[in-house]
Amino acid sequence: MISVEPTAFERSVPDSRVIDDSLKGSKLATFWIEDANGPKWSKFSGSANYDLVVVGGGFLGLWTALQAKQRDPNRTVALIEGKRIGWAASGRNGGFAEATLTHGEKNGSRRFPKELARLDELGLQNLDEIEKEVKRLRFDCDFERTGALAVAVEPYQVAELEEERGTEGLRYFDEKQIQAEIASPTYLAGLWALEDTAMIHPGKMARELARACADAGVDIFEETVAKDVQSESTGPVTVKLASGQLSAQRVALATNAFPALLKRYRLHTVPVYDYVLMTEPLSAEQLKSIGWKNRQGVADTANQFHYYRLTKDNRILFGGYDAIYHFGGKIKKKYEDRPASHRMLASHFFTTFPQLEGIRFTHRWAGVIDTCSRFTAFFGHGRDGRVAHSAGFTGLGVAGTRFAANVMLDQLSGEKTERTELQMVKSLPIPFPPEPFAWIGVEVSRWALNRADHNRGRRNLVLRTLDAVGLGFDS
């Protein structure tokens, strides 16, 4: 018989009045976007010709456009965005710029065992280069190379962290030490990866990337919706717009969770909603009650995990755990307001930091994760190599999009590079089945992940089967 044990967040539940008071007055709005007022770019209408057209104004599209101009300043580049620069996943995430390109060591060793060591090197190199670019281009994006702290909140999770004790670049904390580092009654152990993660303000990062693109000569257009990509067997590619068309020698598609303009890749991702809360700024006394002097990004180690971090003005962003896929795979504004998820996060927040009872959340929001079955970005192409496509970052695109942008530019150049020859780049994840099977599969996976978290992390038959066939669903 499978045991069902309560988690730390069920064993210690705050009073409902604490949750009610904390959410009272919070607004459904993304703090990062609201806090990073950028210029409004004009809408494109009519027709024009470019060497490169980039579709999508998030991190992937912005890095692609910027690096295209850095490689060849004479190349004409246009970037189009259906709404506002950075309004979607790039402006709604936790701001964890993580070095990993493989969604962590375990996932990478299972999927790309022969090249994992090199992928880890390339990922760390990519993060180092982002830091250099932030300094060189003087980005105002609250960049902090703090590293990330994994915390155990259940006894079985302690052993997982202890296995890494003594590994170079990692610092292990036992229960007493982790409590001294960050004071939470839920913490039993911790593992600090010192160099592989930076904290950024994602709204400011998107704004600064757009500024750098414009300074480099990229033409940026907002409120410009791409409808289709068409081409003859030779010649330029045409990007059909709601307001005209753009022709280009090469096209880079950076639409992530939104339906791919190359239809063959539309089943390779599903849009999964992730929910987030942001507190008001902590007072000096409140911050002292926690500690957190090293300002690491934090995540617990369950299947359904939370991630949280401090902002420059000492707010706490608290998100994750409740990953929701809606039948049909649609992206709709109404899905962003989910009281059950936001209340659950508030409850888990006060279980984690009961000493902060009385603090208010100013913002609540949701964002869509472009989830793929292998949890790592994949790369596609079309129109005889004149169109490149990348998606599937599964929540780890803040830094990984820059690497992916370089891959797409390599592919569009027609030259073989180390990046284009990686198995990770040349292979594709297993696509998700069409509805209703996609929804059924995701719901069964969510149930199985939740069951594992209530059974000392033991993966049941459903999860073991998904592991065996290379399918997955990430919380």
DSSP-derived 3-state class of residue 279: strand
User: In whole angstroms, what is the distance from residue 216 CA to residue 67 CA?
Assistant: 10
Residue 139 token pair: 């980005």
Strand 148-152 and strand 297-300: the pairing is parallel
Q: How confident is the model at residue 471 (pLDDT cuts 50, 70, 90)?
A: low
Mean predicted confidence (pLDDT) in 421-449: 93
**pLDDT at position 445, please?**
87
pLDDT at residue 366 tops 60: yes
Helices (H) and strands (E) in the chain, counts: 16, 20
**pLDDT at position 473, please?**
53
**pLDDT at position 233, please?**
83
Please count the CA atoms within 13 angstroms of the CA of 326 that sit on its side-chain side.
14
237 neighbors 229 (Cβ within 8 angstroms): yes
**pLDDT at position 3, please?**
63
Mean predicted confidence (pLDDT) in 427-436: 95
pLDDT at residue 472 tops 70: no
Please write the tens of the pLDDT for every residue from 313-357: 999 999 999 999 999 999 999 999 999 999 999 999 999 999 999
pLDDT at residue 460 tops 90: no
Residue 405 token pair: 């942008």
**pLDDT at position 152, please?**
98
Peptide bond connecting 39 to the previous residue in cis, omega within 30 degrees of 0:
no
Domains of the chain: 8-30+148-194+270-371 (3.30.9.10), 46-138+200-268+373-431 (3.50.50.60)
Please write the tens of the pLDDT for every residue from 197-223: 999 999 999 999 999 999 999 999 999
> DSSP states of 36-88 as a string?
---PPPPPP-EEEEEEEEEE--SHHHHHHHHHHHHH-TTS-EEEE-SSSTT-S
Please write the tens of the pLDDT for every residue from 255-303: 999 999 999 999 999 999 999 999 999 999 999 999 999 999 999 999 8
Backbone angles phi, psi at 221, to 5 degrees: -130, 125
Q: How confident is the model at residue 37 (pLDDT cuts 50, 70, 90)?
A: confident
Neighbours of 289 (CB within 10 A): 15
Residue 405 corresponds to which amino acid?
A
User: In whole angstroms, what is the distance from residue 325 CA to residue 338 CA?
Assistant: 12
To the nearest whole percent, how much of the chain has pLDDT over 90?
89
CA distances from 133 to 85, 203, 217, 220, 304 (A): 19, 17, 17, 20, 34
Whole-number mean pLDDT of the chain?
A: 95
**pLDDT at position 469, please?**
64
**pLDDT at position 183, please?**
98
Confidence (pTM):
0.96
**pLDDT at position 2, please?**
54
Q: Which run of H or E residues covers position 290?
A: helix 284-290
**Direct distance between the N- and C-terminal alpha carbons of the chain, in angstroms, rounded to an integer:** 25
Q: How confident is the model at residue 1 (pLDDT cuts 50, 70, 90)?
A: very low
**pLDDT at position 463, please?**
75
Least confident piece of the model among 33-47, 237-251, 443-457, 460-474: 460-474
User: In whole angstroms, what is the distance from residue 19 CA to residue 457 CA?
Assistant: 28
Angle CA 341–342–346, to nearest 5: 120
Neighbours of 285 (CB within 10 A): 8
192 neighbors 151 (Cβ within 8 angstroms): no
**pLDDT at position 53, please?**
98
Q: Which residue has the higher pLDDT, 467 or 58?
A: 58
User: In whole angstroms, what is the distance from residue 55 CA to residue 59 CA?
Assistant: 11
**pLDDT at position 160, please?**
92
The residues with which 271 forms a beta bridge, in sequence order, are 370
Q: To 10 degrees, what angle do helices 397-413 and 59-71 make?
A: 40
Please write the tens of the pLDDT for every residue from 153-170: 999 999 999 999 989 999
pLDDT at residue 311 tops 80: yes
Going by the DSSP 8-state scheme, the letter that residue 177 receives in this structure is H
Mean predicted confidence (pLDDT) in 91-96: 98
Mean predicted confidence (pLDDT) in 450-474: 75
Least confident piece of the model among 123-127, 293-297, 381-385: 381-385
Mean predicted confidence (pLDDT) in 46-69: 98
**pLDDT at position 446, please?**
87
Backbone angles phi, psi at 18, to 5 degrees: -65, -45
pLDDT at residue 116 tops 60: yes
Tokens 């594709």, located at residue = 428
Nearest to 120 by CA among 183, 196, 200, 210: 196
